[in-house]
Amino acid sequence: MPKKSLLLLYGGKSSEHEVSVRSAISIAKTLNPKSDELYLNEINTMPGFTQFSMFPKLLAASGIHYQTLLDRLIRTAEERSYTTSNLKRELN
């Protein structure tokens, strides 16, 4: 199977740069390398979690159960918190 590429186009560095890059990474992770299928989900920094929200419904339709979703989100938040707390930030 030929190697696939994912291209991310964005403008200059902005206050939303980190969010844009993380969003692109999360989209890239939804690519199924065996079938070229792409599972799309909303890119939303504050997705809804009510019984009517699309976020849990979309993931449930793709086979990811609600408890698994919560576990993954908590684990990801903990990892990001650790990573961000160890970054040096400089202001120019």
Domains in the chain: ranges and CATH: 17-85 (3.30.470.20)
Q: What is the DSSP string of the chain?
A: -PPP-------S--TTHHHHHHHHHHHHTTB-TTT--B------SS---STT-HHHHHHHHTT--HHHHHHHHHHHHHHHHHHHHT------
Is-above-0.75 flag for pTM?
no
- Residue 86 in this model has a pLDDT that exceeds 60: no
At 53-84, the pLDDT tens digits run 877 887 788 888 888 888 888 888 888 776 65
pLDDT at 73 (0 to 100): 81
At 11-38, the pLDDT tens digits run 556 666 666 666 666 666 666 667 766 6
Please state, in angstroms and rounded to a whole number, the distance separating the CA atoms of residues 81 and 7: 27
Q: Say what percent of the chain tops pLDDT 90.
A: 0
